[in-house]
Chains A and B, each alone.
Chain A
Amino acid sequence: MSNFPQDLMYAKTHEWVKKDGDVYIVGISDFAQSQLGDIVYVDLPGVGTKLESGDSFGELESSKAVSEINMPFSGEIIAVNNELTDSPELINSEPYSSWIIKIKADSEDDFNKLLNSDEAKKIIEG
């Protein structure tokens, strides 16, 4: 059964977001990684890229398919996790410590509009 840690917020497209001061850390949920299967390649964006909410910031390639990863809200990418380039499988084994990007948000309010863990759980339970 997929888990949704209480201290994180979630986008409807299954990214998790953690607030760390004024920086927002983004990865994909345990549910998302279990649906994708083995992740074999991560296509990361360039640092400094500015994107709108819902824009694709990269791709996750699993052994079966290729899926886009989306911005949970508008902002600038200030860091990417280069460790995933060599070890994309970390997203499968440790989805909540394998962050993908860090964002500086355009609006601090956007974080609070995301789903909490109970709401995210309800979405996958249908």
Chain B
Amino acid sequence: MNRTPLYEKHLNKGAMFSVFGGYDMPLWYHSAKDEHINVINNVGIFDTSHMSVLSLTGENSERLLNSSFSRNITNLSPRKEIYGLFLTPDYFVIDDAVIYKFSHNEFIIVVNAGMGEIIIDHLKSFNFSNVTIFNHTNTICKIDVQGPKSLFLMEKIFGKALFADFPYYTFKGSFTNNDYLISRSGYTGELGFEIYCKNDLGTKLWDELLIQGEVFNIMSCGLASRDSLRVGANLPLSHQDFGNWKFCNTPWDFCVDTPIISNTSYTYSYLGYDVRKLKNSGVVYYNSEEIGRVLSCVSEVSLTRVGNEIISVKSKNSSDIKIKGLAAGFIIINRKMTSGDRVIISDGSRDLEVEIVESIRPERTARYSLKRIRSMYE
């Protein structure tokens, strides 16, 4: 079993552990629900050192990525990052990735836990010369600082100047030479930063973030809240929401420059009518006919319904309302539907009515300007 450099810290804090992607990872520390809501209202830190971090250098790096990745990399400016997919010729998903561009001949590729060597083999199969690929995963610590108040915490630690101008999906620095690569991105739907650095720097940084973050009500957060936050933010989990089947007609089609035209399947986001979720994998029914399967099903604990209205912990009128949570996730079905349509998801013992929606959690801060965050939270 693999462990991240922060494993001992999680253990000492009494975290509940679970195996994910071959790593023993914290699931939650005290309360997954509190961690979820704290990221929406304040700030949380996640150990994401299980992710695979690769570098790609050499004259043909950009050509190789343009040939193997779902998005054009030439159009990407240096110091910007982009989300996309590594696809098979049949449009099956090998993995999703974020690619960081330093220049046309230097990139960082971040893929899921345990996927580093698989993606390296895939890239090598294109037989490009003048490209060097290196797997940094075991020497790099990755910490995600997420939530609207992450800005103020990051300013305290790295200095205000760095955050005077820091647009969404851009990055600064590098993890070489004992420094930090900091990107304005994340997997929660809330304003946040991802930090990459050498393992020894990362273990010190984790402690520093918790100490300096105390005034912002910081919480260390586990994979359970990471999962429920990402579903609420309409973000997919690779190998669960897409994978070894044709990628078409999904909420994430934006990440493929040349989508495949197909009417074989449709993936939609859904929201339930109460907090109950399925116990096991489930199927989808419409008018008693089985039309597909459930990809993800979580409790989005920051939401509730009052009549036809979705109320979140961020809603202006939420203080008088008990937020009970709503089931949420993604389904893949064999027909086109539209927002507002209702289907039944079932695991054989539970039948739950859910509504197809464009987006799950309202008022997400990930893309807000830093000026707007300052005016709202400072």
Asked if A40 meets B325 with Cβ closer than 8 Å, knowing A61-B299, A63-B32, A63-B301, the reply is yes
Q: Which residues of B contact A64 (CB under 8 A)?
A: 27-28, 32, 224
The docked-state distance in angstroms from the alpha carbon of A43 to that of B33 is 19
User: Of B16, B275, B298, B325, which is within 8 A of A37 by CB?
Assistant: B16
The residue of chain B having its C-beta at the shortest distance from the C-beta of A64 within the complex is B224
List residues of chain B with CB under 8 Å of any chain A CB: 16, 27-28, 31-34, 36, 224, 228, 274-279, 298-299, 301, 322, 324-325
Q: Which residues of B contact A86 (CB under 8 A)?
A: 322
Q: Which residues of A contact B27 (CB under 8 A)?
A: 37, 64
Q: Which residues of A contact B275 (CB under 8 A)?
A: 40-41, 61
The docked-state distance in angstroms from the alpha carbon of A66 to that of B322 is 21
The docked-state distance in angstroms from the alpha carbon of A43 to that of B228 is 22
Q: Which residues of A contact B31 (CB under 8 A)?
A: 37-38, 92
Contact indicator per residue, chain A 66-78, by CB within 8 Å of chain B (1) or not (0)? 1000000000000
Q: 14 A-B contacts, Cβ less than 8 Å apart?
A: A35-B16, A37-B32, A38-B31, A40-B33, A40-B299, A40-B301, A41-B274, A41-B275, A41-B325, A63-B32, A63-B228, A63-B298, A64-B28, A89-B33
Which residue, of A38, A40, A63, has the highest number of chain B Cβ atoms within 10 A? Answer: A63
Q: Is A123 among interface residues, defined by CB-CB distance under 8 A?
A: no
Q: Which residues of B contact A40 (CB under 8 A)?
A: 33, 275, 299, 301, 324-325
How close is B157's CB to chain A, nearest CB, in angstroms? 30
The docked-state distance in angstroms from the alpha carbon of A40 to that of B224 is 14
The residue of chain A having its C-beta at the shortest distance from the C-beta of B228 within the complex is A63
Asked if A38 meets B276 with Cβ closer than 8 Å, knowing A63-B228, A63-B301, A64-B27, the reply is no
The residue of chain B having its C-beta at the shortest distance from the C-beta of A92 within the complex is B31
Pair A66/B32 contact, Cβ less than 8 Å? no
How close is B252's CB to chain A, nearest CB, in angstroms? 24
Q: Which residues of A contact B324 (CB under 8 A)?
A: 40-41
The residue of chain B having its C-beta at the shortest distance from the C-beta of A61 within the complex is B276
Asked if A37 meets B322 with Cβ closer than 8 Å, knowing A61-B275, A61-B277, A63-B301, the reply is no
Which residue, of A35, A40, A86, has the highest number of chain B Cβ atoms within 10 A? Answer: A40
The docked-state distance in angstroms from the alpha carbon of A45 to that of B322 is 23
Asked if A37 meets B277 with Cβ closer than 8 Å, knowing A61-B299, A63-B301, the reply is no
How close is A31's CB to chain B, nearest CB, in angstroms? 12
Which residue, of B36, B275, B322, has the highest number of chain A Cβ atoms within 10 A? Answer: B275
The docked-state distance in angstroms from the alpha carbon of A82 to that of B322 is 16
Q: Which residues of B contact A66 (CB under 8 A)?
A: 276-279
How close is B205's CB to chain A, nearest CB, in angstroms? 27
> Size of chain A's interface in residues, with CB distance under 8 A?
15
Contact indicator per residue, chain A 21-61, by CB within 8 Å of chain B (1) or not (0)? 00000000000001101101101000000000000000001
Nearest 7 A/B pairs, CB to CB? A38-B33, A66-B279, A63-B32, A40-B275, A63-B299, A41-B275, A40-B325
The residue of chain B having its C-beta at the shortest distance from the C-beta of A85 within the complex is B324
Asked if A41 meets B224 with Cβ closer than 8 Å, knowing A63-B32, A63-B299, the reply is no
The docked-state distance in angstroms from the alpha carbon of A65 to that of B278 is 8
How close is B25's CB to chain A, nearest CB, in angstroms? 13
Q: Which residues of A contact B228 (CB under 8 A)?
A: 63
Pair A37/B224 contact, Cβ less than 8 Å? yes
Pair A38/B32 contact, Cβ less than 8 Å? yes
How close is A60's CB to chain B, nearest CB, in angstroms? 11
How close is A98's CB to chain B, nearest CB, in angstroms? 16
Pair B33/A63 contact, Cβ less than 8 Å? yes
How close is A38's CB to chain B, nearest CB, in angstroms? 4
Asked if A41 meets B276 with Cβ closer than 8 Å, knowing A63-B33, A63-B299, A92-B31, the reply is yes
Q: Which residues of B contact A61 (CB under 8 A)?
A: 275-277, 299
The docked-state distance in angstroms from the alpha carbon of A38 to that of B322 is 15
Q: Which residues of A contact B277 (CB under 8 A)?
A: 61, 66
The docked-state distance in angstroms from the alpha carbon of A86 to that of B275 is 12
The residue of chain A having its C-beta at the shortest distance from the C-beta of B350 within the complex is A66
The residue of chain A having its C-beta at the shortest distance from the C-beta of B278 within the complex is A66
How close is A86's CB to chain B, nearest CB, in angstroms? 7
The docked-state distance in angstroms from the alpha carbon of A17 to that of B299 is 30
The docked-state distance in angstroms from the alpha carbon of A40 to that of B298 is 12
Q: Which residues of B contact A63 (CB under 8 A)?
A: 32-33, 36, 224, 228, 298-299, 301, 325
Q: Which residues of A contact B32 (CB under 8 A)?
A: 37-38, 63-64
Q: Which residues of A contact B33 (CB under 8 A)?
A: 37-38, 40, 63, 89
How close is B350's CB to chain A, nearest CB, in angstroms? 8
The residue of chain B having its C-beta at the shortest distance from the C-beta of A35 within the complex is B16
Pair A65/B279 contact, Cβ less than 8 Å? yes
- A-B contact sample (7 more), CB < 8 A, given A61-B276, A63-B36, A66-B277: A38-B34, A40-B33, A41-B274, A63-B32, A63-B224, A64-B27, A64-B224
